[in-house]
Structure 1
Amino acid sequence: MKRDSRLSGVLHLLLHMAEHAAPVTSETLARAMQTNPVVIRRMMSGLREQGYVRSGKGHGGGWQLAMPLENITLRDIYTALGSPTLLAMGNRTESPGCLVEQAVNAALDQTFQQAEALLLARLGEVTLAALSTDFHQRLVEHGHPHLLEHPHGS
């Protein structure tokens, strides 16, 4: 099963954008993430609708953060992306006739719900400012310059 990496990718983009005072084009972000500008625009559209980013067209246009990093949590971004599935596991059959499978589903459903509630709560506690602080500490420790314009691994 392929993992949904949109949350990770969007957080990556937002932290890069936070390092730039000027708008950043979809083309520049796409080069850095080694993808197509259309993919960037699609990912950012939900964030724009929720007011986390804004975009401008034409010369000097591009994407910018629309609010301080302290005001945006990972859960906010997760929700803006459409609340993708958190867990890859699920029940074998959703409406089983077998009583054994019904018992298994009941136990798993409760466990999955608790795990998702815990994960969502934690996502709500972490701000983009906390991620930015971690990034800046790593930048100092490793002495690498911040170069959005060049492709880089995740």
Structure 2
Amino acid sequence: MRKDSRLSRALHVLIHLSVADKPVTSDKMAAMLLTNPVVARRTMALLRDQGYVRSIKGHNGGWSLIKPLNEITLLDIHKALGESSVFTIGLTDEHDDCIIEHSVNTALKDAMNEAESILLARFGEVTLSSLMDIYR
């Protein structure tokens, strides 16, 4: 099962944008993240729509951070990217008539929901500037 790395990639890019002396192109971001420029643009568009970055077209154009890192949390970026589940563990649904499957799914779902609530609450406490502190 493929991991969803959009959050970590977006955080990576935002930290780089905070220290960039000029706008960063989608091509440069894509090279940094080992992905396609279209993927970089789509991700950045989600962040732009929420007011974290802006894009400048033309020569010397690219993406720039417009909100200070101390005003952005991990939860903000998670939400901007579409609030996918933070866990990739899935429940089985192959045997709808099996009471064991229902019991297992209920236990897993309850535990994952509780863990996700705790994790998202913690995401809301961590600003991107605190990630930048590690960099310095």
> What TM-score comes out, normalization by structure 2 length?
0.91
Alignment-derived partner of residue 26 in structure 2 = 26
Alignment match, 2:44 = 44
Superposed CA RMSD in Å reads: 1.6
List structure 1 segments (4+ residues) > 6 angstroms apart after TM superposition: none
1:83 aligns with 2:69: no
Amino acid at match of 1:5: S
Q: Relative contact order: is structure 1 or structure 2 higher (C-alpha 8 Å, sep ≥ 6)? A: 1
Aligned-pair CA distance for 1:95: 7.6
Measure how far apart 1:100 and its partner are.
2.5
Q: Is the contact made by 2:51 and 2:66 (CA closer than 8 Å) also made in structure 1?
A: yes
Where structure 1 has 5 or more consecutive residues not aligned to the other structure, the ranges are 137-154
Relative to the length of structure 1, the TM-score reads 0.81
Give the Å deviation of 1:94: 7.7
1:81 shift after superposition? 0.8
Q: How many residues align?
A: 136
Instruction: Provide structure 2 residue ranges, at least 5 long, that are not aligned to the other structure.
Output: none
Distance in 1 (CA, whole Å) between partners of 2:26 and 2:125 is: 29
Post-superposition CA distance 1:49-79 (Å, at most 9, x none): 0001111101222101111001100111111
Flag the 1:46–1:105 CA change in 2: closer, same or farther, 3 A: same
Q: Is the 8 A contact 2:72 2:128 kept in 1?
A: yes
